[in-house]
Amino acid sequence: MSKPLGFEKPLGMRDILPGALQKQRWLQHRLLESMGQWGYCEIMTPTLEYYDTVGGASATLEERLFKLLDSQGKTLVLRPDMTAPIARVASSLLKEEPFPLRLMYSSNVFRAQAKEAGRNAEYFQTGVELIGSNTVDGDAEVIALAVSVLKAAGLKEFKIAIGHVGFLEGLLEETVDEAEQREELKGYLHNRNFVGFRKYVDSLGLDNEKELRLKELLTLRGGEELIQRAEAITINGKARKAVTNLRQLWDALEAYQLTDSVLFDLNLLSNLNYYTGILFEGYAAGQGFPICTGGRYDGLMAQFGRPAPATGFAVQMDRLMEAAPFVAKEMPRTLVLYRSEQRTIALEKARLLRQEVGVVVTQRKDEWDPRTSESYDRVLDLTKEAQ
């Protein structure tokens, strides 16, 4: 291995320069402000966590965790998401706090990247966790909040696709007896391989009616009308319960008046074996990757000793950065140039100017590069006045 060049950074790590950071901070502010208005309180957790606690409980795949050893030889991870650390806090430090807990965050998370050296391994997420709510009102609140924050960020064209793990599992249990085969089918859905899914269904030798129901799953994408189609291909139990759940969710989303921004997509399956009910992804026009992901994860809190239903979502800030317009108010910028003997006058002038709205930079003229004057609305050259 060659020694890195002086300017190099570890793979996937990134510097954020002033212009971009200004936009990111502005977006973070908009998002947190919206979430705060819904009663969510901001929380911070450490960058490093134990592999055995947060690392194991996280939805992130083992091979994408950054691992290191502490001085006692314990394995640590750079937090791969904020959900697991927040579940840890909610089960320990906030153990006595009554449910439902509403927490929000805006933090950097770390995931090792296999492909493309330029892909971020450290990136920023802003999101919420609603812990201790088991009702469809909780699911609807989180989805409505996701819509609300994307709007607050200035996005015009976006959609939230909603799926249901219970529906998928229920339908598979009704049609396929072998657990192993069901896992295989879930794998195809998770990899978005519909061709493989259909071929595998064909290979199972199911009766015709079951085959059709399974293949119908691949077309279940749409609005309210889809709930009936979903109901038609399920018989009872888990899947029917999920359909009822989705119908209630639709009613709740109608109450929020945002059914225009959502669609159902019942073959949606992200984070295998992590989400337990309603799950969703948000997309913005012109962006190739989802901009936010979320859903119900009723199994996580139990891993930290305080079993509780929970739901939440996270916005990927780097993707939002690309999709969102930047409409920050530019403050007028003034440059005050002075000779060293004019310092007192210059600083007093700057102090007065700063009391008005705006940015004032004081600069000794002998260290001044004239090229910077473009970035100022006004240049006040005291050295000329004095002559």
Partner 1 sequence: MSRQQEKLIVAMPKGRIFEEAADLLRRAGVNLPPEFEDSRKLIIPVPEAGMDFILAKPTDVPTYVEYGVADIGVVGKDVLLEEDRDVYELLDLNISKCKMAVAGLPDWKDDGNQPRVATKFPRIASKFFREKGQQVEVIKLNGSIELAPIIGLADRIVDIVSTGQTLKENGLVVHEEILPISTRLIANRVSYRMKSEAIDYVYQKFASVVEKKED
Binding-residue pattern over the window 211 to 250 for partner 1, x denoting contact by CB under 8 A: ----------x-----------------------------
Q: Which of 49, 139, 265, 318 binds partner 1 (CB under 8 A)?
A: 265
CA distance 289 to 321: 13
Phi, psi at 44, each rounded to 5° = -125, 145
Say if residues 87 and 131 touch (Cβ distance below 8 Å). Answer: yes
DSSP-derived secondary structure letter, 168 = H
Q: Please count the residues of the chain.
A: 387
- Half-sphere exposure at residue 41, Cβ-oriented, CA atoms within 13 angstroms: 8
Candidate segments 79-87, 186-194, 355-363, 374-382, binder of partner 1 by CB under 8 A: 186-194
Amino acid at 111: R
Candidate segments 17-25, 136-144, 282-290, 348-356, binder of partner 1 by CB under 8 A: 282-290
- Half-sphere exposure at residue 47, Cβ-oriented, CA atoms within 13 angstroms: 8
The residue among 149, 185, 363 whose CA lies nearest residue 261 is: 149
Minimum distance of partner 1 from residue 111's CB (angstroms): 14
Other Cβ atoms within 10 Å of 129 Cβ, number: 29
Is 25 or 192 the residue whose CB approaches partner 1 more closely? 192
Amino acid at 356: E
Candidate segments 4-12, 246-254, 280-288, 364-372, binder of partner 1 by CB under 8 A: 280-288
Q: Which of 284, 292, 300, 380 binds partner 1 (CB under 8 A)?
A: 284
Minimum distance of partner 1 from residue 288's CB (angstroms): 2
Any contact of residue 10 with partner 1 (CB under 8 A)? no
Any contact of residue 195 with partner 1 (CB under 8 A)? yes
CA distance 64 to 58: 11
Q: Which of 48, 258, 263, 359 binds partner 1 (CB under 8 A)?
A: 263
Number of residues that bind partner 1 (CB under 8 A): 24
Kindly list the residues in this chain that would bind partner 1 in the complex (CB under 8 A).
157, 159, 161, 191-196, 198-199, 202, 221, 263, 265, 281, 283-290
